[in-house]
């Protein structure tokens, strides 16, 4: 007599097939996206090099931006002359009140990320961060593409890229090597 087949359950995740959710992020060689205090000072030498690692082209390809409250507050703390994602719908996932005067396209979102994914405008959406929000999108299987800049530094401790590996299969679609040792890896995550 053979053993019964293992049962599996499939959760139907509402998604918008016209939307591509992209996690475009930099991480150290040891897998950290920020230090223990949430700082990204390890990126400063690379920012000062003048190389943009495809950032401008990526931002121009976007139809929306999604970020968590701490990331939003960090962007506001940069004291920039204008909102860096001006004209793009920006969804800030939060459970608390936040100022939105930086740009009229900023929307505070309190519902689950699955509902947000179903409401996003067609096109490419940048999942900026932070860590908790990335983990929520990852756990729901909502990340379609990972564009990872691997920086040739070690941070040692801090916020990891992901707390759990994605359930989807990663398929490497592109690799760009920069003279300063940065690698830009582009993966499609298959559902």
- Cα–Cα distance for residue pair 124/129, rounded to 1 Å: 15
Q: Residue 25 has what pLDDT?
A: 97
Q: Residue 191 has what pLDDT?
A: 73
**pLDDT tens readout for residues 115-143:** 999 999 999 999 999 999 999 999 999 99
**pLDDT tens readout for residues 22-49:** 999 999 999 999 999 888 899 999 988 8
Q: Are β-strands 19-28 and 145-151 bridged in parallel, bridged antiparallel, or unpaired?
A: parallel
Helix, strand or coil for residue 49? Answer: coil
Question: Sheet containing 19-28: which strands, arranged edge to edge?
Answer: 106-109, 90-93, 62-68, 123-129, 19-28, 145-151, 183-190, 169-177
Q: Residue 159 has what pLDDT?
A: 92
- Cα–Cα distance for residue pair 75/82, rounded to 1 Å: 11
| Residue 6 scores a pLDDT above 50 | no
Across 12-97, the runs of DSSP E, i.e. the strands, are 19-28, 32-34, 62-68, 90-93
Q: Residue 7 has what pLDDT?
A: 34
CA pseudo-torsion sign 53, 55, 61, 66: positive
Q: What is the pTM of this model?
A: 0.87
Q: Residue 12 has what pLDDT?
A: 45
| Residue 11 scores a pLDDT above 90 | no
Share the mean pLDDT of the chain. Answer: 89
- Cα–Cα distance for residue pair 186/174, rounded to 1 Å: 5
What the chain holds in terms of domains, given with CATH numbers, is 21-190 (3.40.430.10)
DSSP state of 84: T
Q: Residue 16 has what pLDDT?
A: 60
Q: Residue 38 has what pLDDT?
A: 85
Tell me what percent of the residues of the chain surpass a pLDDT of 70. 91
């Amino acid at each position: 007599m053979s053993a019964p087949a293992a049962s599996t359950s499939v959760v139907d995740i509402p998604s918008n097939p016209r939307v591509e959710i992209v996690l475009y992020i930099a991480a150290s060689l040891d897998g950290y996206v920020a230090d223990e205090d949430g700082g990204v000072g390890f990126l400063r030498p690379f920012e000062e090099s003048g190389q943009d690692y495809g950032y401008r082209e990526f931002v121009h390809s976007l139809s929306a931006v999604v970020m968590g409250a701490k990331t939003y507050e960090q962007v506001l703390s940069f004291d920039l002359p204008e909102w860096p994602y001006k004209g793009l719908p920006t969804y800030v996932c939060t459970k608390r009140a936040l100022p939105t005067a930086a740009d009229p396209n900023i929307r505070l979102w309190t519902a689950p990320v699955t509902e947000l994914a179903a409401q996003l405008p067609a096109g490419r959406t940048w999942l900026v961060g932070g860590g908790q929000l990335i983990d929520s999108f990852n756990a729901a299987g909502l990340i379609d593409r990972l564009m990872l800049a691997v920086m040739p530094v070690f941070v040692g401790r801090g916020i990891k890229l992901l707390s759990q590996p994605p359930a989807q299969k990663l398929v490497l679609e592109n690799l760009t090597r920069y003279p300063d040792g940065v690698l830009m890896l582009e993966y499609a995550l298959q559902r």
